[in-house]
Each structure stands twice: as C-alpha cells, then as structure tokens.
C-alpha cells in the first residue's frame, strides 16, 4: 500500500491553518504542523488528536534548520505562520520583520532543502494599502504599516526563491477571512472577535464610523479550498487575490448578529471598502466561494462560546489601544 503524501502546515493550530489541516486530512494527506502557539491554540486541533496522520510540533519557525526533519519527504508546504494586527506592528516593527519576513525565509530554505513539490504562501491584501476597488493583482503595492510591509516582503522572498532556486511557489493575498476558530486573544483587531465577545456579554457592538464601510468577508473553509487548489495546480510563480468578491457592510454584520450599537471614531489608514477582484483565481484555479455571508455568520454564531475567553472591548479600551494607530497613521 502506497504511503500517503505529506503536507506541512506552518501555523497549523491557528485560525485558517487548523481548517487547512482538516481539509488536507480529508483529502488523504499525512499532515505535519508547526506552530509556536503564540496565536494558535492546541484546542483548534483537539478534534483531530487521535488521527494517526497528524503530527504537531510546538515551536517557532524562526528556529527552523535548513534540513529540518519536519519537511522531509513533504509534497506541499502551506505557510500560514506569522503574527498579525496593525497596532502591535507599529509598536514592535522589528518583531514583525523577524517573524513574517525572516521566518518566511527559514521556511523557504527548509522547503528548498527538502525538495518539496510546491509551497503556497499566505499573503495579505494589506499590501495594497488604500486600494482602488475591486482590487486586481496588478494594483500598486502601498503598505501603510509594518505588518503589511512584513507580509509583502515575505511574499517577495518567496518569488525570489522561485526565481533563483527554482522553488515552486504560489501566493494568495487574503482579504477578510472569518469563521470558527478565529483568534480570541491579544490586541484589539478583527471585527468578528470583538463583536462576538460583546454579544456574549450583552454589550453594544462598537462600530467604527457609521458602519457603512464594507469588507470582502470570505468564510474560512472557502479559504482552505483555495489554498489546496493553489497547491494542486501545475501553475507556479502566481499571485491570486482571495475574497468573496461581494463586500458586506459592518452594518449588515450587526444586523445579522442582532444587538445594540455604539459608534466610535473612524480610524486613519483604513479603507472604506475592501473588495477582491477574484476573476483570476476563479478562471485559473476553478475556485469559487461556496459559503454565503449569511450562512457563514450562522456557522459562527452556532459556536459563539468559543469566544467566551476573548477580551471584552468598549469605546474607552479601544481608544487606549489605538492611540498608536492614530499617532502614526493620521498623516
């Protein structure tokens, strides 16, 4: 009996990474996870704990050796590991460059030494800055803060390794992923985590501006499907934008979640709309979103207790947490 193909998922205990692990296991892969557990949680893979095809190592990608045994014999490397959030990146830019950029170089070198068939990099649409919409892959790159810069430099490293060393790499620029297992701790950030905790506590939703801003929300299992397609394709050296191609307003989200609202000041450097032009990924990979926004929100609400341990934000704590944001991005 032939052995199963091997896939390495960096950040595999994280939000998107854990769903990627589920998909790969379903598709008949043996999966190896590396995660520092800074943002990821062992709990996200608890349902797979008895799966003999899953192996996990809780360590930092910055410590990877060029010939790291974790990558030995791997067909695919799906690289999600990194640190997110805008404000912490402004306050600690060195750490972001070390993890998101230099950490990616470590992954690239380990993948190259192992002779992997394909690596898929999880890039960020934040590289476009305040972008024209819908946003195509050839839009100018204008990172507004260190997180965006560090992720884009990681992507540049990927394509440099493709050009110089012949490593087969594709990159997917994720717009606004949401769904079950999204992060519950750390800095003030993603709207879903903030709102879900507020709903659990019976507190009003803290809506930025007037709530008319729109985000290209894509449910997490659709994200995982796109990454699998990017690994399986014969194409290499490609970049794809990934969203639903159907932006939803924050007001629509509040309507679906049901609750009272309190409005807080609009923040500098934030776009009024994020909107992925998904023509390239749909035509080249045959991928398309399968979960509607309404269905996705329903799935999240069905598991709302997951966010019970998340921090509770209110207008005062948000104001304090975003002081650096206003200071450095106001111009």
| Cα–chain center distance at 215 | 14
Q: How far apart are CA 241 and CA 126, in angstroms?
A: 11
Give me the phi and psi of 114, to 5 degrees please: -80, -10
Structure tokens belonging to residue 209: 């501006």
Q: Is the CB of residue 162 less than 8 Å from the CB of residue 169?
A: yes
All residues at 6 or more sequence positions from 254 whose CB lies less than 8 Å from its CB, including other chains = 195, 205, 207, 211, 261
Helix axes 191-200, 250-257, angle to 10 degrees: 30
- Per DSSP, 58 falls in state -
* CA dihedral for 21, 76, 108, 150, sign (positive or negative): negative
Say how many residues make up the chain. Answer: 331
Distances from the Cα of 177 to the Cα of 33, 70, 228, 321, angstroms? 21, 28, 16, 23
Q: Annotated catalytic, 147?
A: yes
Q: How far is CA 277 from CA 41, 132, 283, in A?
A: 32, 10, 12
82 dihedral zone (left: phi>0; alpha: psi -120 to 50; beta):
left
C-alpha dist (Å) from residue 326 to 5, 36, 100, 246, 321: 48, 30, 24, 29, 10
Written as six digits, the tokens of 118 are: 């394909």
Q: How far apart are CA 289 and CA 174, in angstroms?
A: 13
Q: Of 121, 147, 178, 306, which one is the catalytic site residue?
A: 147
Task: Write out the catalytic residue numbers.
Answer: 147
């Amino acid at each position: 009996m032939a052995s199963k193909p091997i896939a390495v998922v960096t950040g595999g205990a994280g939000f998107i990474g854990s769903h990627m692990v589920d998909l790969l296991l379903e598709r008949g892969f043996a999966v190896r996870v590396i995660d520092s557990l800074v943002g990821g949680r062992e709990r996200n893979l608890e349902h797979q704990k008895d799966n003999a095809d899953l192996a996990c190592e809780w360590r930092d990608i910055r410590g990877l050796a060029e010939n790291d045994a974790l990558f030995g014999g791997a067909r695919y490397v799906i690289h999600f590991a990194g640190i997110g959030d805008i404000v912490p990146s402004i306050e600690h830019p060195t750490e972001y460059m070390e993890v998101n950029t230099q950490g990616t170089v470590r992954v690239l070198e380990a993948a190259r030494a192992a002779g992997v068939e394909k690596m898929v990099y999880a890039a960020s649409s934040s590289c476009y800055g305040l972008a024209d919409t819908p946003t195509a892959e050839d839009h100018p790159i204008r990172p507004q803060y260190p997180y965006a810069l560090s992720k884009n430099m990681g992507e540049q490293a990927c394509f440099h390794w493709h050009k110089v060393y012949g490593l087969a790499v594709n990159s997917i620029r994720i717009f606004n992923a949401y769904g079950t297992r999204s992060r519950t701790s750390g800095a003030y950030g993603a709207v879903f985590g903030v709102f879900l905790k507020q709903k659990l506590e019976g507190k009003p939703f803290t809506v930025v501006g007037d709530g008319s801003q729109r985000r290209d929300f894509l449910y997490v299992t659709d994200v995982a499907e796109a990454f699998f397609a990017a690994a399986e394709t014969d194409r290499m050296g490609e970049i794809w934008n990934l969203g639903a191609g159907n932006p939803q307003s924050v007001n629509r989200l509040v309507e679906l979640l049901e609750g009272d609202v309190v409005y807080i000041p609009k923040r500098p450097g934030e776009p009024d709309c994020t909107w992925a032009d998904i023509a390239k990924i749909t035509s080249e990979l045959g991928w398309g979103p399968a979960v509607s926004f309404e269905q996705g929100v329903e799935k999240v609400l069905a598991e709302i207790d997951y966010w019970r341990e998340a921090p509770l934000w209110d207008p005062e704590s948000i104001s304090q947490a975003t002081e650096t944001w206003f200071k450095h991005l106001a111009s």
